[in-house]
Structure 1
Amino acid sequence: MRDRMERRLSYLISGETFAIIMFPIIYAVSFFAYQDLKLHFLFSFWLSFFLLEFILLQGSLYWRVKLKQLKKEPSIILPQRVVRTLQVLEKANGGLLLLTLLFFVIDFLIWYPNVPFKELSITGYIFIFAFLEYVNYFYIQLSYDNISDLKFLIKTRRLKEAYIKKDIRRGSSR
């Protein structure tokens, strides 16, 4: 069981880390391949992109801490300082989401009536992806990519509580 959990945590770490590395590369390639796209002019694009990368980094680091804890201790209950950090990050992410929405509106108003629809659409998709990652980590698990998760989903017909949310609740009650 412990081996399986270590493999699962390593898989999650590598997936998040891969995404963190690949998204800037994809942006760089698309910057040169699609020079008519002017994403770099939109502050909301940069905020959305930063937010997505920031949340993915948090996920990667969270899984690393869980793996380290699993290797060190018989349980994976997080230290109090990590729980407090997660609480701060949850609030910071929420603030960044609101700030990004504000700048999305500002970008729209700045560019009106010549609104760059493609650029704002891409920015919107990145923002939605960041928002879904935030929900997936801090509220409700949205990713069901293994048999155990799928069995739970089929059996209970409900979504699981996010792992970080569980750890925050557990840590707050100590």
Structure 2
Amino acid sequence: MKINVKRKLLSLFTGELFAAVSFALLWIMYIQLFDWTEPYLTSFPSLYAFVLLEFILLQGSFYWFLKFRQVQRECYSHLPYRQLRLFVFFKRFNLFLIAIGLLLMIYQYKINAVDFYWFLFLYVFAIIEYINYYHIRLSYQSIDEIKDLIRQRGLRSSKLARELKNL
């Protein structure tokens, strides 16, 4: 069982990190290769939404790394208080950044910017990731996890949300 838990946590950590790094590389590559993408990818609102998404993905990767490190040390409890306090800060800071993004969305909509829908896609993606980490688990990766979801008849709190609740 310990090996399965370690494997799962390593997969979650590296998967989130890989997503964050590959998104950034693709972003840069598209700016370099395709002239038509420049207004979409280099406007301030789009960059803001992208950085917000990357920031939240990196938080998720960091959380799974800390959990993986705990299992390596054969500690299966919640994260230490100091580390959980860091995630409380992240949660609040994310809300602040999401609120700023809402203002940018209103501004984008009012000026009818060419990149509004691209910004909206990235912004909603970031909010979904925030909800997935800090509130409700939205990602189910295996058949067994999907079967559990159906049996439970509903979504459950994310692992991080449960740990923060106990803080």
Q: How many angstroms apart in 2 are the aligned matches of 1:139 and 1:97?
A: 15
Show CA shifts across 1:127-159 (max 9, x none).
111110000000000001123321211111111
Instruction: Give 1:9-158 correspondences, 5 Å limit.
Output: 9-37=9-37, 38-109=39-110, 112=111, 115-117=112-114, 119-158=115-154
TM-score computed with the length of structure 1 as normaliser: 0.88
Map of 2:156 onto structure 1: 160
Q: Unpaired runs of 5+ in structure 1?
A: none
- Segment of structure 1 superposing worse, 61-70 or 30-39: 30-39
How big is the shift at 1:89? 0.6
Q: Percent identity?
A: 30
How big is the shift at 1:41? 4.8
How big is the shift at 1:106? 2.6
Runs of at least 4 residues of structure 1 off by over 4 A? none
- Considering only aligned residues, what root-mean-square deviation do their CA atoms show, in Å? 1.5
Output the amino acid matched with 2:113. Answer: P
Map of 2:5 onto structure 1: 5
Q: Kindly tell me: are residues 69 and 106 of structure 1, through their superposed partners in 2, closer, same or farther at Cα, counting changes over 3 Å?
A: same
Number of residues paired by the alignment?
Answer: 166
Q: Unpaired runs of 5+ in structure 2?
A: none
